Amino acid sequence: MSNSVINFLKIVTLVIFISLVPILFISEDGTTLVWTILIPLLPVALLIIGFSRWRDICPLAFISKIAQKINIFPKKRVPKWFESNFWYFQYTLLFIALTLRLTTLNYEATYLGIFFIFVVVAAFTSNLIFTGKSWCNFFCPVGAVEKIYSISNAKNYMYNSACGTCTACKKNCPDIDLESNYWKEATNRQKEFVFYSFAGMVLGFYLYFYLLSGSFTYYFSGEWTHDSISLLSQGFFFTELIPVVIAAPLTLAIFTLLSYFLFKSLEEYLWKNRIFKAENYETVVHKVKVVASFSAFNIFYIFAGAPAYMHYPQAYAIFYFLVVATSSVIFYKEIFRKEDYFIQERFALKIIKSWSSTKAIPTNLKEIYYTYVNENKSKTQRLTVYKSTITELMQEGILDQKSLIILEKLREQIGITQRDHERVITSIKAKNEALFDASIEKSSEKRYQENSYKNVVENAFNEHMEIDEAYLKTLQNQFGISDEVHNSIMHSILDTNHTIHKDILDLLDFMHNLLKIQNNIYEDGTREVVFLKYSIKNEFTYASKDLFSILFTLYKENKKSIQKLLNIAKGKHTDASFILNRDTLSFMDEAIAQKMILIHQDFISSSKPQESDNKAIITQLLKHESIQIATAALLNTKNRTTEYLSPEILNRFCNTNDLEICSLLYKLMYKTAHITTYERMMYLNTIPIFKDLKFDDLHFLGHSTKVEFFETDRYIIHQGDLGSTLYVLIKGAAVVEVNEKEVAILGHRDYFGEIALLGDTKRTASVKVTQETIALSITKRKFKLFLQTHPEVSTKVMKEIIKKLI
C-alpha cells in the first residue's frame, strides 16, 4: 500500500471522525450510525490493512501526534511502574468504556458526542505530557484490541508505524516491530490475561442486551439505539433488585473471568499432556492466544453491525463472508507460527542485505539459505555474515543467550559448524560484552531511537545547518537522548562518516587559505581594499560558523575548550593560561587538531605585506570559489580592469546569473557613471555603524539606498526641518552650518542625518555643498524595514550619536 493511499485514508478517517461530533449533537440517529455501521467496520479493516498501517491512519493517533511535536515543557517517559502494568490499565479503560456503552453511550447521542470530545482531549494531553506515542501505547483503550486482533502480525515486518523522532518511549515498541514485541512478551501474565479474557468480555457485552430485555430481538432490531434508560433502571429482566449501573459491569466482569479461566485451562491441558509434543511452552501459549483472538473476533461479528446491515441481506452476506474469510486467513497464518520461524526470517533478511548473487532472491525461507550457501562457497565470507547478523539481532534484542539455541538448525543450513559457531559467539562477546549483560537494555526501539537521532544530526551536518547548543538540547529532549549516548553517537559519526570528517578538514583548509590571503593584503587605505578585506573576513566568519556548529556538537563534553577556540577565531581575548597545542586539543581527531594549530599560528602572524603584493593577490582572488570575494577583488581593478581580466576570468563574471555583478563588470570596463549595488555596499562599509554587518545584510542595505547629485552652494538639509533621511557622501565636499555659522567640513567619507532615522526630530544643523557632490541617501521608512530584521544596528547608531553629542 503506497504512501499516497495511506495519506488518503488518513484524511478520510480524520474527516469522518471530526464530522461525527456535530452529527451526534444534531441527529437522533447518531448512536445508530456509530455503533451499528461505523464501529463494525474497524476490526476487519484493521486485519485487512495491517496493524502498522492502521496506526498511521487512526484519527486519534493523528491528533496525538500533533501534541507529540509541541514542546511547551520537557516531556517525560511514563513511570516505570506504570509501564510494567500498562496492560491492566489499558484493559481497565476498555472495560470502563464498554460499561459506559451499556449504561449511557448506546442510548444518548449527546453523551456520546461529549465522550468523543473527552477522548480527543485525553489523546492530545497525554502526548503533550509524555514522550513518544504514549497515547497509543499506554492509554488508548482500543490499543489493547488492536494487538489482540493482530496477534503476532506475522510476516508484516516490511512496514512499520514508528515515529520519525523515536524516543524509545516503550520497551518492545509495537510500532517499530509488532512481531518482535509479541515474542518478547510471549509469557507476560498481564498480556496473557487480556488475550484470554477478551472473548468473554465481547460475549458478555452482547449477551447483556438479552439479560436486560429477555430477548435477542431487542438487540438485533436496533431498538436499543432509540431507547432511553437510566443508571438506576432495572438491570436484569429476571430481577428488579439490581440496577443497570451494577448489572452491566457485573455481566462484563463475570464473562471476562470465565473466558480467562477457560482458555487458561486449555493452555494448561495442552502443555501438561504434551498435546504438541515438539513445541515449547511459548509456542503452546501462542496457539491458545490465536484461538482466543479468533473466538473474540468472530463472536464480535455474530452481533456487530447486524442491526443495520441485516436490512440489506446481500450486502450483509458479502460483509460476513469477508469477515469469516479474513479471520480464517489470519488464523491459518498465525496458528502455525512460532518464535523459531520469526528469528529465521529475520536472519534471512539480514542475509538478503548482503546478497551478491545474480540469482533472484527466493521467497521460500529454506531456499534462501540453500541458495546462499551454494552461491557463497567462501567459508570466511559466510562466517563474516553470520557474525555480523548475530551481532545485529542481539543489538535489536531479537536474539539473547536463551534464544541462541534456535540457531542450531539455522547454522547447519548455511554450513556453519558448532565449533565455528562457538568461536563466533566468543569473538562477539570479546568485542561486545554488553550484549551478554542482562542488566543492559538491548532492543530494536533503543537502536531505532539512536539511529534516528544520528541520522538527523548527520543530515544537519551534511546540509551545513547551524547546530547551536539550544537546538541540540531540544533535539536530545525530543529523542530522549542522554549526554552519554549523545557523546557516543558523535564519536561514531566522526569515526564512520568520512563525509563529515572531510567537511571539517575542508572547512579548516578554506579558513586557513582565507587567513593567509588576509594577512598578505597590503592595506593602502582605499575603500576598495577595505571592502575586499571585509569580504574575506565575512567568508571566514561564515565558514567558522559552520565549523564550530559541528565541533560543538561532536565535542560537546569539551565545550569550554571549543568556546576558547571560537573566541580565537573571532579575534576575541581568551584566557592567557590557554595554550593552543596538541595537548590542549587531545580530545580532537589528529588531523583536525593539526589544522586548528596552523590557523592559530596564522592569527598571530606578524608579516608585513608590500604594496606590490596586492596585484598578485587580486589576480588570484578573481578566480576564488566565493563569488562575493571575487566581486570584491573586481572592485580593486579600478582603472586597470582589462589588465586583470583574462578570457577565463571574464567568462566567469559574464556567465554569472547575478545581474548586479554583470552591471559592475560593465561599469568597470566601459567607465560608465552608474553607481552599482556593490559600490554602494563598499561606500556603506566605511561608515562605522555599518562596517560589521554581514555581507547579505549590507547587500540588502545597499539596495535600499538612492544616489543623489547636488550642485555647488545647494543645501542638502536645513536646520529646523523635520529629518527623515541619512546621507553618505561618496564624492565632493560640504560644510555644516549651525545658525548660519560654519562649524565643520565634510568630505567624501562622511555621513550625517543618522538621528533622523530613529525618531521624528528636527535637524540640528544645515549642510551646504561646496563643490559638486554625490551622496547615497537612506530614508527612515526603508531603514526601519531594515532594522526589523537587524535590531542590533539600532544600538550601533545610538552609540555613534552619543559620540557626536559628546
- What pLDDT, on the 0 to 100 scale, is given for residue 785? 81
> Nearest Cα to 41, choosing from 311, 324, 304?
304
Residues 410-427 have a mean pLDDT of: 79
Cell of 186: 510471549
> Nearest Cα to 503, choosing from 536, 547, 446?
547
Q: φ and ψ at 707, to 5 degrees?
A: -90, 125
Inside any domain, residue 646: no
Q: How far is CA 562 from the centre of its chain?
A: 27
The more confident residue out of 390 and 603 is 390
* Separation of alpha carbons 52 and 159, rounded Å: 7
How do residues 181-191 score in pLDDT, each as one tens digit?
888 888 899 99
- What pLDDT, on the 0 to 100 scale, is given for residue 171? 79
Residues 44-72 have a mean pLDDT of: 87
Inside any domain, residue 742: yes
Q: Residue 753: pLDDT above 60? A: yes
- Last residue of one domain, picked from the residues 408, 436, 464: 436
Residue 51 shares a structural domain with residue 123: yes
Residue 216 shares a structural domain with residue 239: yes
Inside any domain, residue 404: yes
Residues 644-671 have a mean pLDDT of: 85
Neighbours of 156 (CB within 10 A): 17
Task: Give me the chain's average pLDDT, please.
Answer: 83
Going by pLDDT thresholds of 50, 70 and 90, the confidence category of residue 125 is very high
- Last residue of one domain, picked from the residues 395, 417, 436: 436
* Separation of alpha carbons 657 and 655, rounded Å: 6
**Total tally of structural domains belonging to the chain:** 4
Residue 478 shares a structural domain with residue 431: no
Q: Which residues contact 675 (CB under 8 A, 6 or more apart)?
A: 707, 730, 774, 776
The SS3 assignment for 26 reads helix
* Separation of alpha carbons 496 and 782, rounded Å: 50
How do residues 501-552 score in pLDDT, each as one tens digit?
788 888 888 888 988 888 888 888 888 888 999 999 889 888 888 888 778 7
* Separation of alpha carbons 171 and 442, rounded Å: 9
Taking phi over 0 as left and psi of -120 to 50 as alpha, with beta for the rest, 732 belongs to: left
DSSP assignment string, 788-804: HH-THHHHHHHHHHHHH
Sign of CA dihedral 269, 275, 279, 284: negative
In total, the chain counts a number of residues equal to: 806
Residue 322 shares a structural domain with residue 415: no
Q: Residue 398: pLDDT above 80? A: no
- What pLDDT, on the 0 to 100 scale, is given for residue 576? 61
Residue 478 shares a structural domain with residue 553: yes
Residue 721 shares a structural domain with residue 768: yes
The SS3 assignment for 700 reads helix
* Separation of alpha carbons 145 and 571, rounded Å: 64
Inside any domain, residue 600: yes
Inside any domain, residue 203: yes
Whether residue 98 contacts residue 144, with contact meaning beta carbons closer than 8 Å, is answered with no
The more confident residue out of 694 and 291 is 291
Neighbours of 438 (CB within 10 A): 9
Residues 630-652 have a mean pLDDT of: 84
Sign of CA dihedral 279, 281, 283, 285: positive
* Separation of alpha carbons 25 and 15, rounded Å: 17
Q: Count Cα atoms within 13 angstroms, Cβ side, for 474.
A: 11
* Separation of alpha carbons 795 and 806, rounded Å: 17
Taking phi over 0 as left and psi of -120 to 50 as alpha, with beta for the rest, 259 belongs to: alpha
Going by pLDDT thresholds of 50, 70 and 90, the confidence category of residue 335 is very high
Going by pLDDT thresholds of 50, 70 and 90, the confidence category of residue 287 is very high
- What pLDDT, on the 0 to 100 scale, is given for residue 251? 96
Q: Among the listed ranges 136-140, 144-148, 401-405, 531-535, which one has the minimum average pLDDT value? A: 401-405
Residues 84-97 have a mean pLDDT of: 94
Residue 421 shares a structural domain with residue 529: no
- What pLDDT, on the 0 to 100 scale, is given for residue 806? 54
Cell of 350: 539480514
Which domain does 751 fall in, by range? 704-805
Residues 63-89 have a mean pLDDT of: 86
Inside any domain, residue 637: no
Residue 297 shares a structural domain with residue 386: no
> Nearest Cα to 305, choosing from 207, 222, 226, 227?
222
The rounded radius of gyration (Å) of the Cα atoms in the chain is: 38
Inside any domain, residue 774: yes
Q: φ and ψ at 282, to 5 degrees?
A: -60, -40
- Last residue of one domain, picked from the residues 304, 335, 366: 335
> Nearest Cα to 774, choosing from 728, 718, 719?
728
Cell of 552: 560543538
Inside any domain, residue 622: no
Residue 215 is given by DSSP the state S
How do residues 195-232 score in pLDDT, each as one tens digit?
999 999 999 999 999 999 999 999 998 888 888 888 99
Q: Which residues contact 121 (CB under 8 A, 6 or more apart)?
A: none
Residue 299 shares a structural domain with residue 262: yes
- The label of the residue with cell 547546530 reads 467
Beta bridge partners of 773: 710
How do residues 222-269 score in pLDDT, each as one tens digit?
888 888 888 999 999 999 899 999 999 999 999 999 999 999 999 999
Q: Is 590 exposed, middle or buried (0-12, 13-18, 19+ CB in 10 A)?
A: exposed
> Nearest Cα to 366, choosing from 347, 382, 385, 384?
347
Residue 374 shares a structural domain with residue 244: no
The more confident residue out of 689 and 87 is 87
- What pLDDT, on the 0 to 100 scale, is given for residue 468? 64
Residue 754 shares a structural domain with residue 776: yes
The SS3 assignment for 726 reads strand
Residue 227 shares a structural domain with residue 249: yes
Residue 130 is given by DSSP the state B
